Amino acid sequence: MSNNLIEILKQQVSARVLEGESTFLTEKNTALSLFYPILLSILRGKPHLIERLRDQLNPRLNDLFESHPALKPQFLDSLRGAAPAPEIESTLSKSILPVLGVLENQAGSADPDAMVHLINTQQDSVHRALPVWAAGILEALGINTAIGKTANKAPEIAAPVAVKEKKSGAWLPVLALIILGLLAAFWYKSCSSKNSVEDAGPHVQSAAAQPASLHLSTNEQGALASCQIYVNNSSYIDILQQQVKQIFSSPAGCGASADAGYHTVYTDQDAIPSVLKLIEGIPNVSLNWVGEQLSIQAANPQDAERLAGDIKKIAKNMNISVQKPVDINTAVNNSISEAQKALAAINPEHIRALDVATALNMQIINFAAGSAEIPEANKSILDQAAALMQRAKQVELTVMGHTDATGSAAANKKLSQARAQAVVDYLIGKGVDPAQLRAVGMGQEKPAAENATEEGRFKNRRIEFEVLNKDTGVARTVDEQGVKEYSY
C-alpha cells in the first residue's frame, strides 16, 4: 500500500479524468489535486455517502453539497482559477467514481468501514493537503477538519420560547459557519492573488529571457519522431506528456525540462493538444512553438500551408509562419564544390593538417538513413584529401561521426562510429597511413542544430574532421568562430 493516498489519486485518477480533454488542462489538474483531500475528508466524516455515491451511475458534485447547496458555488470559485465553473464541476464529478475505485483497491475491500479506515491511516497527509479555505466549507457541512468526522452539536438548552422561534434559531450556528467559510475562502483567494502579483516580477523577467517552447516532428509515416518540452511547470509537463502519448500512440512521449529559466505557461496553451491532433498522421512535419512564434515545416509545402491555416483558427495569439524545407541536394552540391576549391588551393609543398581538416569540413557527407555507405558524390573530395595526406605524414586527423536524435541513443552511437570508420577505411584504401587516422562515434550527443526540424536533423547527420596531436592529446577543430582546442 502506498504511503501517500493523495499522490496515488493524482497519478491514477487525474490521468483518467483528463484523458481527451483539451481546454483549461492546468486549471482542471489543479482543481482535482485540491478536491481529493476535501472529498476524502467528507467521506471520512460521512461514511454513508460512500454507498450512495457508488450506487449511482454518474455521481455528481451536487451529492456532496445536498444539505447545503449554497456552498457549492463558493467552493467552485475557490478552486476553478480562470476556468468556467461548469467545466470544473464536470471534471470533479467525473472523478468521484474513480476515487472510490482507488479507495476500494487500496483498502482491499468494498466495505465502507474498510475504506474509512484507510483514510484514517492517511489522515495526516490528507490534512496537510487540505487548502486553507476548505476548513470553513467543511465545517459548514458538519465535518470537523481536526478529526475528519461529523462535528458534534452542542446540546440544546431548553428555553421558554415558541417552537417556531426555536427552529428558526437552530439555523443561526449553521448560517454563521457558512458566513465564516465564505469569508475564509475570500481571504485565502485575496492572499493568493496578492502573492501572485508580488511574485510576478521575477517570473516575468525569467520568462522574457527563456519563453516556454515545444519542438516536435513526425517521421515518414506521420508518427512521432522527436519531441522536446521546455516549460517551468511540472504539472503541465505531465499533462502535455499524456496528451502526446495518447494522440501519437507513443509510449515514449517527449523529453522535457522544467528549468526555472523558462516561462511557466505557453502562449495559447490550451490550443496545443488540438494542434497536435492536426499534425498527427502527416508525414515529415516539424513544429516549433516558442513564445508567441510558431513555425511549421513539412516535406510537402501544401501540408505546411494547410496546417498553418488550420492552426491560425485555434491558436489566435500565435504568430504562425511556414518554413521552406531545405534543398538537401543543392546544399550538398554547393558544399562539395567549396571543399574541392579549398583542397585545390593547398600548396602541396606546404601542407598543414589544419588546412586539410578545414577543407574537409566544408563538405556535407549526406549518409542515407541508417546507412554507413559513403555517397559517391563525396568520394572525389576524399580522394583529393588522401593524395595530400600521403605527401604529409605529419597530418593526423580524428574523424568524428554524428547523428540526429531519431532512434535510440545506443543505436545512434553505433551508427556514428560505423560512419566515421567508413571514412577512415576509405582514406586508408586510398593509401593513407592508418596511423594518421582515428575514428570516433559521437552519436546524438553533440547536435549542431535542433532535432525538431528536418533541416536540423540534416545538419546533425554529419562527419567532422579534427586535427589531433597524439603526443599531447589535444585536438584542434575549426568552426565559424575560428580555431578551438580541447582535450579528450
Residues 6 or more apart from 240 whose CB is under 8 A from it? 214, 229, 254, 272, 273
25-45 and 5-18 helices cross at what angle (nearest 10)? 130
Which grid cell sits at 134?
Answer: 476548505
- Give the pLDDT score at 171: 52
From 3.40.50.800, 3.30.1330.60, 1.10.3720.10, 3.10.110.10, which CATH number describes the 328-487 domain?
3.30.1330.60
Choice between 256 and 478, residue whose per-residue pLDDT is larger: 256
- The answer to whether residue 386 scores a pLDDT higher than 90 is yes
Question: Where do the CATH 3.30.1330.60 domains begin and end in the chain?
Answer: 328-487
- Give the pLDDT score at 161: 38
Q: CB burial class (10 A; 0-12, 13-18, 19+) of residue 334? A: middle
- Give the span between the Cα atoms of 27 and 32, in whole angstroms: 9
**Distance between first and last Cα of the chain:** 49
Mean pLDDT of the chain: 80
- Give the pLDDT score at 413: 92
- Give the pLDDT score at 145: 61
Mean pLDDT of 176-202: 48
Please give the CATH architecture assigned to the domain spanning 213-323: 3-Layer(aba) Sandwich (3.40)
- The answer to whether residue 65 scores a pLDDT higher than 60 is yes
pTM score of the predicted model? 0.42
Question: Where do the CATH 3.40.1520.20 domains begin and end in the chain?
Answer: 213-323
Mean pLDDT of 221-247: 88
Choice between 118 and 203, residue whose per-residue pLDDT is larger: 118
- Give the pLDDT score at 329: 81
Q: What is the pLDDT of residues 290-302, one digit of tens each?
A: 889 999 988 788 9
- Give the pLDDT score at 153: 40
Q: What is the pLDDT of residues 4-46, one digit of tens each?
A: 898 899 888 888 888 777 788 888 888 999 999 999 999 999 9
Of 278, 272, 273, 277, the residue nearest 294 (C-alpha):
272
Mean pLDDT of 117-126: 89
- Give the pLDDT score at 182: 54
- Give the pLDDT score at 40: 92
